[in-house]
Structure 1
């Protein structure tokens, strides 16, 4: 059963502002979505929103899975080009920047959702694992055929009137991630420890919401009701980084996004990221990348989609 196209019903997305200096932001329209996730066809997005809009790099304020059912093509996530074919799946996290190709050569499903929807409760034993895997894997180049069956089942469920609709869709999304994304993450990491609570998710969420203030490990520990030692162990177990390194990593990611995809000056970028002076950001950026912000921006302009 095919899902209805966006042209046949109101779009679930707020219109993207393409005129400001900042990176265009796409968000879910909660008033339209009776349930949190939303599924649609890639071809419908091209038809409804137009080539210029879908192919311009834009930020998501939600997560998404893009599953290719036919064709071969490319998709851009951050600064990387991913080559897609039938059976490929892209995993896009909240705040990531992506763009469809300027010429549509593939079709498939785009599933949009807020990660909080995936949780089955406070004692969910897999929620941290789901979130961590999605945070580290952007593309699985070929998934098993049963993933396609799960997407088809989800399309049917979106059209159902069952009182259990939300729970069925939640479990279908979790199944797709556990079957296709988590194994890729485990293979990449070689080993992973699972914990029975959502502490790592809370840590990552806090950093994601406050990184512009450059919080110290002590400030984060106080806010989360943990000791610095506990948080550092949590960060080491899940990301092999300290809490400070997690903060620096998030700041660096945002700096790259703003330099590559926005029209803000380097001084504006530094100010938005909590640096007192642009020179301090330059030192920070060069320490982590070996290039200056100015040179990085120029490299992106020369070959943004060639990596």
Structure 2
């Protein structure tokens, strides 16, 4: 599995870069895009013309005019077929995106945007691209705030549930803040802490608060969210490495391979060895 680090092109300031699918194809003459890769940055794209296909974390997405794609850091994805696609492709660091609503927490890796909002999203992407070009050519006119806010507009216009305004007060905003803290802690400690109570202690909340906030933001309880995240990481290791099951278990913080097998079977309905074999066999047939 190829690990991708954020290395912006010369003239791409502030941790954001505006490209297109055409530019991606021109840079990737060896077609490495069709193989699994794991970026440490965000990839946000709109399909303005053509059709294609994309895969992210074991789920396939058809691409067509009106499609949106959002790859978050740590996702394993591959552009299975973008030879006929075009549209804006934005790369950015996690720290660059201005605060949004809870909507982005539940956004899938790919979805369809209705025609009216898609047109507005393309306009936002065009504006972002123009400001990005200005920043590259005329640094004195560059503004990180302008670029960040334009990126926020683009994402909010394209999100599946983009009707919640920035800065919504009271309980909603509080739940968003709590969930973001929990989500960040899970990303940092999922190989160490497998119980919600550990996160509650570290963050200074009780388990019920984390559960309410996670359900409001992600549509599921804190325990389910944590288990699903551990399961996803287990699937990534099984699918994209040759590590033995025992080594996968240890990397995820399971000291006993039997406990890991029990956890995986409970979550995925099959043992890890069977899941690995089925996934790789299926990929061989469809590759």
Residue by residue over 1:49-77, the C-alpha shift from the partner in whole angstroms, topping out at 9 and shown as x without a partner, is: 33441111111211111111221111111
Deviates more, 1:162-171 or 1:67-76: 162-171
Aligned to 1:177: 155
Distance 1:227 1:301 in 2: 41
Deviation at 1:98, TM superposition (A): 0.9
d(CA) in 1 for partners of 2:163, 2:62: 19
Instruction: Pick the aligned partner of 2:234 from 243, 250, 255.
Output: 255
Alignment partner of 1:218: what SS?
helix
Partner SS, residue 238 of structure 1? helix
More off after superposition, 41-50 vs 67-76: 41-50
Q: Distance in 2 between matches of 1:240 and 1:70?
A: 33
1:39 to 3, 18, 23: 18
1:299 aligns with 2:278: yes
The match for 1:131 is 104
Secondary structure class of the residue paired with 2:172: coil
| Structure 2 residue aligned with 1:16 | none
For 1:266, the equivalent position in structure 2 comes to 245
Residue 296 of structure 1: how far off its partner (Å): 1.0
- The more displaced of 40-49 and 205-214 is 40-49
Change in CA separation of 1:214 and 1:110 when aligned onto 2, cut-off 3 Å: same
Q: Secondary structure at the match of 2:13?
A: coil
Give the conservation status (yes or no) of the 8 Å contact 1:128–1:200. Answer: no
Structure 2: gaps (5+ residues):
165-170
Q: What SS does structure 1 have at the residue aligned with 2:91?
A: strand
Partner of 1:11: none
RMSD of the alignment, in Å? 2.5
Query: Unaligned stretches of 5+ in structure 1?
Result: 1-22, 121-126, 187-192
User: Is 1:60 the counterpart of 2:39 in the alignment?
Assistant: yes
Question: Please, which moves more after superposition, 208-217 or 241-250?
Answer: 241-250
Q: Deviations over 1:34-53 (max 9, x none)?
A: 31111112222222233441
- 1:140 is aligned to 111
Structure 1 segments (4+ residues) deviating >3 Å: 30-33, 161-164
SS at match of 1:194: helix
Aligned pair count reads 271
Mapped partners of 1:130, 1:116: distance in 2:
18
Aligned to 2:2: 24
Residues 129 and 182, structure 1, Cα contact 8 Å, conserved in 2 = no
Name the residue aligned to 1:4: none
Normalising by structure 1, report the TM-score. Answer: 0.79
